Amino acid sequence: MTRTDAAFDFLATRASYPSKAMTGPAPDRAALEPILAAALRVPDHGNLQPWRLVVGGREALSRWADLGEARAREMGDDPVRIEKGRGQFDRSHLAVVVIASPVPAEKVPEIEQTLSAGALCLNLVNAATAAGWGAQWLTGWVAHDRAFITRAFGCTVGEWVAGIVHIGTRGPAAAPDRPRPDLSRVVTWC
Q: Is residue 182 part of a domain?
A: no
Q: What's the predicted TM-score (pTM) here?
A: 0.95
Nearest to 154 by CA among 93, 86, 97, 91: 97
pLDDT of residue 183: 95
Q: Is residue 1 part of a domain?
A: no
In 82-169 the beta strands, taken as DSSP E runs, fall at 95-100, 134-138, 160-168
Q: Is residue 163 part of a domain?
A: yes
Spatial separation of the C-alpha atoms in residues 135 and 27, rounded to whole Å: 11
> What's the pLDDT tens digit per position in 143-169?
999 999 999 999 999 999 999 999 999
Q: Is residue 24 part of a domain?
A: no
Query: Count of domains in the chain?
Result: 1
Spatial separation of the C-alpha atoms in residues 131 and 129, rounded to whole Å: 5
CATH of the domain at 159: 3.40.109.10
Give the residue numbers spanning the domain of 64.
Answer: 30-171
Q: Is residue 14 part of a domain?
A: no
Q: Are strands 160-168 and 95-100 parallel, antiparallel or unpaired?
A: antiparallel
